[in-house]
Amino acid sequence: MKQIATILFVCCSMLSFGQQQKTVPQEIIESIKNDVWIPFMQAYAELDSDKLKSIHSEDIVRITIDQNQIETGAKYLAHFGGFLESMKQHGQQVDIAFAILSTAMDENGVLAYQTGYYRYSSKGKDDEKLIPRGYGYFNVGLKKENDTWKIWLDSDKNADISHEEFVGQEILYELMR
C-alpha cells in the first residue's frame, strides 16, 4: 500500500512539476481594469444603467449562486439596469468596489477569467454617508469585443469576509468619493 501511495505521489509530482503557473501580463490586467472595473464602479456611482449595460456582452450569462438563478442576454441587462434606475428614483446612492484574487487568460489573449470579492455600499435618504452593506465572491468570464473587454459570464454569491480582509487584497479597485 505504501508503495502505491509513493508511486502515485511521484507521478502526480512529475505531472505538476512540468506545469508552470502562467502569469497574465500586467497590461492585460490594466486593460481589463480600464474597460470593465472602472466603468462598472462609475456606473454605480453615477446610477448610469446605460454605462452598466455597455460593459456586458449582449450574450451575458448571469448566475446568482445563492438564489439558484440564471439570467441571460437583454432580459438580464434590462433587469440589472432597472436596479440602478430604481435607486435613482428613490434618491439613493450606491457604490461597489472590487478586490481581484486571480486572473487567467487564454493563449490568444481574447478570453480571460477573474475571481475576486466585491463590496456593496449604499446611502439611503436618512444616511449621512455610504454604508457597506455586504460582500460577495464573484467569478467573471471576459472576452474581447472590438478591442474592448466585456463581461460574458458573471456569477456571485455572498461572502463572509471582514473589511480588513477585503482591503488587504493585493489588487483593490475603488473610486475615491
Each residue's pLDDT tens digit, 20-79:
567 889 999 999 999 999 999 999 999 999 999 999 999 999 999 999 999 999 999 998
Query: What residue has cell string 487584497?
Result: 169
Evaluate whether residue 112 is within a structural domain. yes
Evaluate whether residue 157 is within a structural domain. yes
Q: Which of 133, 114, 89, 121 has the alpha carbon at shortest distance from 171?
A: 114
Evaluate whether residue 43 is within a structural domain. yes
Torsion over CA of 160, 47, 37 and 77, rounded to 10 degrees?
Answer: 90
Evaluate whether residue 169 is within a structural domain. yes
- Number of domains the chain contains: 1
Evaluate whether residue 17 is within a structural domain. no
pTM score of the predicted model: 0.85
| Pairing relationship of beta strands 148-158 and 56-64 according to DSSP bridges | parallel
Evaluate whether residue 11 is within a structural domain. no
Residue ranges making up the domain that contains 141:
22-173
C-alpha cell at 146: 472590438
C-alpha cell at 168: 488587504
Evaluate whether residue 12 is within a structural domain. no
CATH number, domain containing residue 79:
3.10.450.50
Evaluate whether residue 9 is within a structural domain. no
Tens-place pLDDT, residues 98-150: 999 999 999 999 999 999 999 999 998 888 999 999 999 999 999 999 999 99
